[in-house]
Amino acid sequence: MNEAQTVTEQPTSAPTDFEAFVAARSTALWRSAYLLTGDRHKAEDLLQTALLKAWRNWDRINRREAVESYVRAALVSTYTDWWRRRWNGEVPTGELPEHPAAAATPEVRHDVLAALALLPRGQRAVVVLRFFDDLSEARTAATLGVSIGTVKSQTARALATLRTSPLFETGDRHE
């Protein structure tokens, strides 16, 4: 990239479309990134990286209804790339970033993250997209670039792993 080409260059299409998309969907996308990484700071980095990919390709994303699928696919592929490179992220500063308010108790959030951490990355991605982002099997398959059968088998394996997890042996852990 030369000096004339910077990351801040805007695509030729209306930047307000991108800004509107980010304003409307960033909370849900951040949640997906958080569930994938299990860390607030890494989730923010992951989301920013995925949104940057969308920004750079904004003119090429022909159907605006496909933008969210594009960004979700970028989240998963970037997350996988980071894991393959053993990316550890940046060291956070003393000031914590803002984060969306959650309805679940801290104990429940901890249990969900602990349960997701038990799963291999592919199964974790399927569970996050299917159950937390409420995508259909077909949309999950399209987002991940796999077959619907793969989504079904990964879901079944993930649920079997979670059912046998010590985290879920009793239903009254937090009472």
Q: Indicate if the alpha-carbon torsion angle 31, 37, 39, 41 is positive or negative.
A: negative
In a domain, 40, yes or no: yes
| Contact by Cβ (8 Å): 78, 50 | yes
**Do 73 and 43 fall into the same domain?**
yes
**Separation of alpha carbons 26 and 32, rounded Å:** 10
Last residue of a domain, one of 30, 59, 87: 87
> Is residue 93 in some structural domain?
no
Q: What is the pTM of this model?
A: 0.54
Is residue 40 classed as helix, strand or coil in its secondary structure? helix
Question: What SS3 state is found at 10?
Answer: coil
43 within domain boundaries: yes
Instruction: Answer yes or no: do 33 and 71 share one domain.
Output: yes
- Domain span at 44: 11-87
* Overall domain count for the chain: 2
In a domain, 119, yes or no: yes
What tens-digit pLDDT sequence spans the chain (175 residues)?
444 444 444 444 456 788 888 999 999 999 999 999 988 999 999 999 999 988 888 888 767 678 888 899 999 989 888 766 654 555 566 665 565 555 667 887 888 888 899 899 999 999 999 988 889 999 999 999 999 999 999 999 999 998 888 877 655 444 4
**Residue 174's CB: how many other CB atoms inside 10 A?**
10
Judge whether 148 and 138 are in contact, CB under 8 Å.
Answer: yes
